[in-house]
């Protein structure tokens, strides 16, 4: 049965294996194809530990832009101009009265309590190192060092959602729609997440989760096979999420009505800020996490995508935006690779996709490059360097 919205539908075509997301009408370049909130999402464990403060429900950054800039540049005397461009509303921030996790608003707090937080709260302060969630997060950090590609908290929230649901069967069915893989592919996916000792690590985490959060409604997830399958599901379906009060501040500064001279001065300040951020914090500028999205998860990969994912609302709301004109019945594809990796050789792209997403890409770009040499971009660079050395 197809899943429909005004612009798209999820369906299976006989000409290909698996699901895909297809346009129901013409979509123009730059048009927002859909907006979607996740079934479940959470902040990464290391990101939270390093004081990237985010709403526990929607992942909106809760740190003022100036405070975030001071922390990430390690410059406590840094002053940002035009503080009115920061959208963080400290007066709206609220906390769970029992465990003190933060929310951007009472609406998010109430949504979390109704969906999953009653199970995860357990009525004690989250700062307590013996809180079961804290113990699990510490165990996770000890076996999964940054940069993170998953987190045990995503699975805890999924379990809590089923335990709290008035209709747990429908919640279970919702998660079952995500792509499942073979046993061998599961082992490969979990190995990529947790490294060579993944079997021992997964079993340790399974015992810890079962000890506190067991429920007969999720017993199939807590068997050794089921637990491994859940990790593989997360590893192959989750979408990264990022928010930053600094980027919102900078974007709003760009929209200010300033004289040309003042505009140039402000641009210099922003450029210098990002240079300082890059020097100290590198690429770790955002509140980062992951989520599972129904429609986005149906988007197949292309090395020449016609759409991309954006987070324009600076929370967990995902926007799928057209990169080119898309005709009715045309498949909507995104790239699973980063911008730099998209420019690499066909062989490099194929290798990355096989290692991380367990498939061989057969997009139009890969087909047209099928006769290219089977060397990675690094090997091509080495060959070029060797050629240069011979010429010299």
**pLDDT tens per residue, the chain (392 residues)?**
345 578 999 988 655 567 899 999 999 999 999 999 999 999 999 999 999 999 999 999 999 999 999 999 999 999 999 999 999 999 999 999 999 999 999 999 999 999 999 999 977 777 788 888 999 999 999 999 888 888 999 999 999 999 999 999 999 999 988 877 788 888 888 888 888 888 899 999 999 999 999 999 999 999 999 999 999 998 889 999 999 999 999 999 999 999 999 999 999 999 999 999 999 999 899 999 999 999 999 999 999 999 999 999 999 999 999 999 999 999 999 999 988 898 999 999 999 988 888 888 989 999 999 888 776 655 555 544 444 454 44
Alpha-carbon distance of 144 to 151, in angstroms, equals 8
CA distances for 346 relative to 156, 241, 304, angstroms: 38, 27, 12
Alpha-carbon distance of 372 to 388, in angstroms, equals 21
> Phi first, then psi: what are they for 191, rounded to 5°?
-60, -40
Determine the 3-state secondary structure of 28 from DSSP.
coil
- The alpha-helical segments, DSSP class H, found in the chain are 45-49, 65-73, 106-112, 118-121, 132-143, 152-164, 168-176, 183-194, 198-213, 224-237, 245-254, 260-280, 339-342, 346-357, 364-368, 377-391
What's the pTM? 0.89
First to last CA, the chain: 64
Q: At what angle do helices 65-73 and 245-254 cross, to 10 degrees?
A: 120
For the stretch 344-391, pLDDT in tens is: 999 999 999 888 888 889 899 999 998 887 766 555 555 444 444 544
Closest to 327 (Cα-Cα) out of 101, 26, 7, 118: 26
Alpha-carbon distance of 223 to 346, in angstroms, equals 39
Count of Cβ atoms closer than 10 Å to residue 377 Cβ: 17
For the stretch 166-207, pLDDT in tens is: 999 999 999 988 877 788 888 888 888 888 888 899 999 999
């Amino acid at each position: 049965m197809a899943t429909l919205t005004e612009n798209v539908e999820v369906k299976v075509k006989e000409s290909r294996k698996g699901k895909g997301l297809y346009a129901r009408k013409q979509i123009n370049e730059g048009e927002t194809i859909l907006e979607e909130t996740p079934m479940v999402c959470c902040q990464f464990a290391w990101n939270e530990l390093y004081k990237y403060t985010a709403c526990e429900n929607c992942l909106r950054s809760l740190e003022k832009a100036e405070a975030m800039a001071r922390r990430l540049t390690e410059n406590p005397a840094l002053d940002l101009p035009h503080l009115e461009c920061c959208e963080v509303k400290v007066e709206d921030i609220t906390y769970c009265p029992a465990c003190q996790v933060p929310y951007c608003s009472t609406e998010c707090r109430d949504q979390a309590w109704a969906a999953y937080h009653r199970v995860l709260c357990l009525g004690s302060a989250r700062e307590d190192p013996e809180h079961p969630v804290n113990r699990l997060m510490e165990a996770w950090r000890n076996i999964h060092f940054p940069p993170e590609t998953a987190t045990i908290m995503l699975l805890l929230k999924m379990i809590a959602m089923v335990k709290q649901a008035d209709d747990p069967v429908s919640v279970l069915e919702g998660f079952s729609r995500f792509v499942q893989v073979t046993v061998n592919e599961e082992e490969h996916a979990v190995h990529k997440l947790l490294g060579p000792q993944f079997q021992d690590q997964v079993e340790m985490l399974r015992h810890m989760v079962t000890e506190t959060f067991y429920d007969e409604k999720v017993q199939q997830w807590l068997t050794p096979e089921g637990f491994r399958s859940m990790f593989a599901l997360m590893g192959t379906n989750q979408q990264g999420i990022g928010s930053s009060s600094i980027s919102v501040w900078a974007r709003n500064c760009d929209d200010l009505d300033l004289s040309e001279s003042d505009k140039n001065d402000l641009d210099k300040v922003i450029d210098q800020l990002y240079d300082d951020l890059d020097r100290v914090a590198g690429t770790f500028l955002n509140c980062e996490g992951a989520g599972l999205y129904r429609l986005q998860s149906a988007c197949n990969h292309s090395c020449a995508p016609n759409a991309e994912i954006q987070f324009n609302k600076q929370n967990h709301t995902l926007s799928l935006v057209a990169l080119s004109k898309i005709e009715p019945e045309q498949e909507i594809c995104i790239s699973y690779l980063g911008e730099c990796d998209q420019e690499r050789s066909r062989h490099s792209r194929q290798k990355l996709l096989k290692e991380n997403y367990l498939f061989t890409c057969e997009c139009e770009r890969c087909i047209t490059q099928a006769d290219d040499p089977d060397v990675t971009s690094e090997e091509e660079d080495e060959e070029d360097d060797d050629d240069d050395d011979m010429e010299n």
